[in-house]
């Protein structure tokens, strides 16, 4: 959409019709991402208005542009104005006074929180959304209380009574949610350790929203039925759906993948998005912990985008991951079906500093996925070769069966004893040895 241009022929309800606004300090404002976000939330952009200027403390945009926005809302019968910026309470109030009666205002972060709220279906996700909303609201409550006190009017600017008790209530709720999320995180940590002890390597999918992570997870998954793993891992949810909209995946989704000699669990997580403040990223710490605690991170990017866009997203993603991530990062250039080979080679060369030895795939068609599984196998921690002698007894087969389930068995010889040769992670080898040592001696009762 061009700045200020109205889209005709849209028949959605007034409340769903949105005017998109973006202000930048310099350069040219682009609105593609905020339009996608608005559509993901269920809104229908009918016009866009942009401005290049320094921020106005009263209206964010200039007052003349605020008047233009109000006229556009009236002309398009829009019910909401969505700013691809962060607005202060005073700016929101002043802009609201300009708009036709009934029209609402959302800034970028309130829109993102609304999308998160729509996607949250599990208790941990709902807690993370509530925490993000409270952390968003707290400085506004403090600002409104300060303004009200200064003006000696509890309801200053028509924003309701925001006093110290309101601030205390928000802080208390934040503390309670953090405690509950810490408990959830402890449970998740125990599950991860149980999986590792069972011989699983943990691989996390990271990257910007709409890069194709959920589609790639479905391509890597051994199957799409949960029942196969229900007994061993009852915490595994359904495989993530693949849809062309932002934030389809909010909760983490884990599936077993077929990676040659290994048992691998791949986890899809919420997608990154540009210009997220630290408080919002931190609110989803328990979700991102699946990335931070993985054995390998697959950083998925949409290679059909421009080199500049991919470069910017890679920089932001690496900055986010570098805070606590210790696992190696393998960049996956996804959506190769949307570009030709020459364009792929050009982008691969241009991004080599940030993405050395990337793997190019099309999760949609499956092209390149075999090379990706080989690369995953190469970059995961090395397996150790082991040879264990298992005394034959009534309980021996249960131990040998356990080794088959949790390691890559290369040979088994049966005689007076069973000799099992296999490859596994060191922790799995230690557990196998412990199980053999706990077997009763042959002939004992």
Residue 213 known to bind ligand: yes
- Token pair for residue 339? 């570009």
Q: What is the pLDDT of residue 198?
A: 61
Kindly indicate the confidence band of residue 214, based on its pLDDT and cuts at 50, 70 and 90.
confident
- Token pair for residue 365? 């068609």
Specify the pairing of strand 80-83 against strand 17-24.
parallel
Q: Which of 57-71, 112-126, 274-288, 393-407 has the lowest mean pLDDT?
A: 274-288
Residue 439 pLDDT > 90: no
What number of other Cβ atoms are within 10 A of residue 71's Cβ?
12
Residue 94 known to bind ligand: no
Residue appearing with tokens 């953090």: 178
Rounded Cα distance between 67 and 70, Å, is: 5
Report the range out of 149-153, 292-296, 365-369 with the highest average pLDDT: 365-369
Residue 362 known to bind ligand: yes
Residue 92 known to bind ligand: no
- Token pair for residue 97? 């006074």
Residue 270 known to bind ligand: yes
Q: Which of 51-65, 146-160, 370-384 has the lowest mean pLDDT?
A: 146-160
Farthest CA pair distance, the chain: 94
What sign does the dihedral 304-305-311-316 (CA atoms) show?
Answer: negative
Q: What is the pLDDT of residue 283?
A: 57
Residue 226 pLDDT > 50: no
Rounded Cα distance between 401 and 28, Å, is: 63
Residue 236 pLDDT > 80: no
Residue 160 pLDDT > 70: no
Q: What is the pLDDT of residue 234?
A: 38
Residue 17 pLDDT > 80: yes
Contact 240, 253 (CB under 8 A): yes
CATH number for the segment(s) 198-379: 3.40.50.300
Give alpha helix (H) positions in 153-275.
Answer: 164-197, 213-220, 227-230
Residue 292 known to bind ligand: no
Rounded Cα distance between 304 and 356, Å, is: 18
Residue 325 known to bind ligand: no
Residue 25 known to bind ligand: no
Q: How far is CA 235 from CA 46, 229, 287, 368, 397, in A?
A: 43, 9, 15, 30, 28
Residue 108 known to bind ligand: no
- Token pair for residue 395? 């309980």
Residue 268 known to bind ligand: yes
Residue 271 known to bind ligand: yes
CATH number for the segment(s) 14-106: 3.40.50.11060
149 against 68, higher pLDDT:
68
Residue range 8-21: mean pLDDT, rounded: 69
Residue 364 known to bind ligand: yes
Do the first three CATH levels of 14-106 and 198-379 match, i.e. the same topology? yes
Residue 417 pLDDT > 60: yes
Q: What is the pLDDT of residue 10?
A: 40
Residue 214 known to bind ligand: yes
Q: What is the pLDDT of residue 444?
A: 54
Q: Which of 33-47, 213-227, 346-360 has the lowest mean pLDDT?
A: 213-227
- Please write the tens of the pLDDT for every residue from 254-269: 888 878 777 788 888 7
What does the domain layout of the chain look like in residue ranges? 14-106, 117-186, 198-379, 384-437
Rounded Cα distance between 377 and 374, Å, is: 5
Say if pTM beats, i.e. exceeds, 0.85: no
Backbone angles phi, psi at 34, to 5 degrees: -65, -30
Contact 129, 117 (CB under 8 A): yes
Residue 191 pLDDT > 70: no
Residue 207 known to bind ligand: yes
Q: What is the pLDDT of residue 225?
A: 38
Residue 406 known to bind ligand: no
Nearest of 255, 344, 237 to residue 301 by alpha carbon = 344
Rounded Cα distance between 151 and 272, Å, is: 41
Residue 211 known to bind ligand: yes
Stated length of the chain: 445
Q: What is the pLDDT of residue 2?
A: 45
Rounded Cα distance between 223 and 217, Å, is: 10
Q: What is the pLDDT of residue 195?
A: 59
Residue 229 pLDDT > 50: no
Q: How far is CA 237 from CA 255, 324, 387, 399, in A?
A: 8, 26, 36, 29
């Amino acid at each position: 959409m061009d700045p200020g241009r109205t889209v005709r022929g849209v028949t959605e309800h007034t409340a769903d019709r949105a005017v998109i606004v973006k202000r930048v300090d310099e350069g040219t404002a682009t609105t593609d991402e905020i339009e996608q976000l608005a559509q993901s939330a269920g809104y229908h952009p009918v016009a866009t208005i942009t401005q290049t200027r320094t921020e106005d403390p009263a209206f964010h945009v200039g007052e003349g542009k605020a008047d233009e926005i109000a006229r556009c809302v009236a002309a398009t019968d829009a019910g909401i104005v969505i700013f691809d910026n962060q607005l202060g309470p005073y700016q929101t109030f002043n802009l609201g006074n300009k708009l036709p009666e009934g029209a609402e205002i959302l800034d970028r972060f309130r829109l993102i929180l609304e999308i998160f709220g729509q996607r949250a279906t599990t208790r941990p996700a709902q807690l993370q959304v509530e925490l993000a909303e409270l952390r968003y609201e707290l400085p506004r409550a403090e600002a409104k209380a300060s303004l009200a006190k200064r003006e000696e009017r509890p309801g200053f600017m028509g924003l309701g009574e925001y006093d110290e008790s309101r601030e205390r209530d928000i802080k208390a709720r934040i503390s309670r949610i953090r405690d509950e999320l810490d408990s959830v995180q402890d449970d998740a940590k125990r599950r991860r350790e149980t999986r590792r002890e069972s011989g699983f390597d943990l691989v996390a999918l990271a990257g910007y929203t709409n890069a194709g992570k959920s589609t790639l997870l479905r391509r890597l998954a051994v199957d799409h039925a949960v029942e196969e793993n229900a007994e061993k891992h009852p915490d595994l949810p359904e495989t993530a759906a693949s849809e062309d909209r932002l934030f389809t995946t909010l909760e983490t989704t884990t599936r077993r993948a077929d990676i040659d000699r290994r048992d691998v669990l791949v986890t899809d997580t919420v997608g990154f998005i540009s210009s997220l403040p630290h408080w919002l990223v931190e609110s989803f710490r328990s979700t991102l912990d699946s990335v931070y605690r993985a054995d390998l991170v697959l950083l998925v990017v949409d290679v059909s985008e421009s080199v500049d866009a991919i470069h910017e997203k890679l920089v932001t993603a690496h900055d986010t991951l570098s805070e606590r991530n210790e696992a190696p990062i393998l960049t996956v250039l996804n959506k190769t079906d949307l570009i030709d080979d020459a364009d792929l080679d050009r982008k691969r060369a241009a991004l080599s500093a940030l993405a050395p030895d990337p793997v190019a795939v099309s999760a949609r068609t499956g092209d390149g996925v075999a090379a990706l599984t080989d690369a995953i196998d190469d970059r995961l921690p090395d397996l150790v070769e082991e040879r264990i002698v298992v005394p034959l007894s009534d309980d021996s087969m249960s131990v040998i069966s356990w080794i088959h389930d949790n390691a890559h068995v290369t040979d088994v010889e049966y005689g007076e004893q069973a000799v099992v040769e296999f490859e596994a992670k060191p922790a799995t080898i230690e557990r196998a040895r412990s199980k053999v040592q706990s077997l009763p001696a042959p002939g004992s009762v």
